[in-house]
Amino acid sequence: MKKLKEITDRTKFYLLAFTLIFSLQNTLQAQIKKTDTVIVELAKTSKLLFTIKDRADLPTLKAYDYQALFKDILAKIEGSDSTTAVVSSNPDSTTRPQPQVEVIENWTSLDKNDDDDDEDWEWDNDHHRKDHPNHQGFFNIDLGMNNYLSDGKFVDEATAPYAVRPWGSWYVGFNSIQKLRVKGKFFTELGLGVSWYNFKFEDDGLILTKGPNGVEFSQSLPEINPEKSKLTVCYLNASLVPVFDFGSRPNKSMLWGHGNGFRVGMGPYIGYRIDSYSKNVFYANGDKEKDHTRSSYYLNNFRYGARFQIGYRGTDLFVNYDMNDLYVENRGPKLNALSFGVIF
């Protein structure tokens, strides 16, 4: 019953953490949103696009004579080979607005001198502009392997009992991302998420103990036939990664979007430890046993480091390096955690 209660409490905590992440994402998305866009389907292949960056324009829009406006638009299009028209008027006019309809033969000639406006659009195959949002929200999954370094080198089993197996030491992360355009192809990715280090030890019989002065690594008893030993650490994380994205669809998430160019970024992250436990799997008297021990093991409550990510089209890779030690100073070995893998 005690173990069931621990599992239930831990599940409730994770659900609360995910709820907090998504609530923050939705709040941020609502605060960032600046432009209202309305698309009206007029016929099988005809659409009317309204883009309103300032709601103060609504009184002016209400004053238009739209029946006369549409007649003027259709008349201009009938007399031209183009199917694109731009309507402009004097926003400072105190009388009823008199729209001016201009037929555009080539969208690339529009707003040549307005660099900031052009950055918010992309081009389709017919040289028509379409909306390119200044921010995107999506969900990423990091899946890869983790290890740690001691003085810049991987730990060897011959010199340290806590050496880690690369295969089986899985790193998993769930991240909510807000991608904000800064300028042109330069973006900033704000991330909130939860991640797990799984350090699977080379020594299947290694037992972790929180001693009075530090973490202790000892061997299993002779009558026990060990099968697996690992340490799992869970963190709640926040990240800020500047990214150069040279694609026309700057969304790198493989599950929720499709990037179509090269992208690269690097930036800091910080995390707070919310759970940690050791797991030993062994056979005793012919029966398979599993022992979970939940403890801090003198692990640092905070982690901080640098994240590097690179992608091309539908494939993205990441590398995380913790700049601070995994364990509290003088309470455990000096190790810096490292993880790398694929972004889904």
| Tens digits of residue pLDDT in 283-313 | 988 899 999 999 999 999 999 999 999 999 8
Which is nearest to 335 in space by CA: 287, 309, 300, 283? 300
Residue 6 lies in a domain: no
| Tens digits of residue pLDDT in 3-59 | 555 555 565 555 555 555 555 555 555 554 455 666 666 666 677 776 777 777 777
Single residue among 81, 110, 131 that ends a domain in this structure: 131
**pLDDT band, residue 236 (cuts 50/70/90):** very high
Phi, psi of 313 (to 5 degrees): 55, -115
**C-alpha distance from residue 62 to each of 36, 92, 340 (Å):** 16, 15, 55
Rounded distance between C-alpha atoms, residue 135 and residue 188, angstroms: 9
Beta bridge partners of 129: 123
Structural domain count of the chain: 2
Q: Based on the domain organization, do 120 and 146 belong to the same domain?
A: no
Which of the pair, 51 or 328, is modelled with greater confidence?
328
Residue 219 lies in a domain: yes
Single residue among 113, 131, 149 that ends a domain in this structure: 131
| Tens digits of residue pLDDT in 128-156 | 444 456 888 999 999 999 999 999 999 99
Q: In this structure, how many other beta carbons lie within 10 angstroms of the beta carbon of residue 187?
A: 22
SS3 102: strand
Single residue among 92, 111, 131 that ends a domain in this structure: 131
Q: Based on the domain organization, do 313 and 234 belong to the same domain?
A: yes
Q: Based on the domain organization, do 174 and 40 belong to the same domain?
A: no
Residue 270 lies in a domain: yes
Residue 43 lies in a domain: yes
Q: Based on the domain organization, do 188 and 175 belong to the same domain?
A: yes
Q: What percent of the chain has pLDDT over 70?
A: 67
Rounded distance between C-alpha atoms, residue 344 and residue 330, angstroms: 38
Q: Based on the domain organization, do 142 and 266 belong to the same domain?
A: yes
Residue 31 lies in a domain: no
Q: Based on the domain organization, do 305 and 336 belong to the same domain?
A: yes
Q: Based on the domain organization, do 120 and 149 belong to the same domain?
A: no
Which is nearest to 163 in space by CA: 197, 199, 198, 196? 199
Residue appearing with tokens 């950055």 = 119
Q: Are 87 and 64 in contact (CB under 8 A)?
A: no
What residues have CB less than 8 Å from 172, skipping those under 6 apart? Answer: 141, 142, 143, 195, 196, 198
* CA torsion angle 307 313 314 315 (round to 10): -40
Q: Based on the domain organization, do 105 and 227 belong to the same domain?
A: no
Q: Based on the domain organization, do 252 and 329 belong to the same domain?
A: yes
SS3 136: strand
Q: How many helices (H) and strands (E) does the chain have?
A: 4, 18
Residue 240 lies in a domain: yes
Q: Based on the domain organization, do 189 and 63 belong to the same domain?
A: no
Residue 267 lies in a domain: yes
CATH number at residue 159: 2.40.160
Beta strands in 53-185 (DSSP E): 85-88, 100-103, 121-123, 129-131, 135-150, 153-154, 170-183
Q: Are 279 and 18 in contact (CB under 8 A)?
A: no
Q: What is the DSSP letter of 201?
A: B
Residue 19 lies in a domain: no
Q: Based on the domain organization, do 125 and 246 belong to the same domain?
A: no
Q: Based on the domain organization, do 152 and 181 belong to the same domain?
A: yes
Residue-number span of the structural domain to which 98 is assigned = 36-131
| Tens digits of residue pLDDT in 254-277 | 555 556 789 999 999 999 999 999
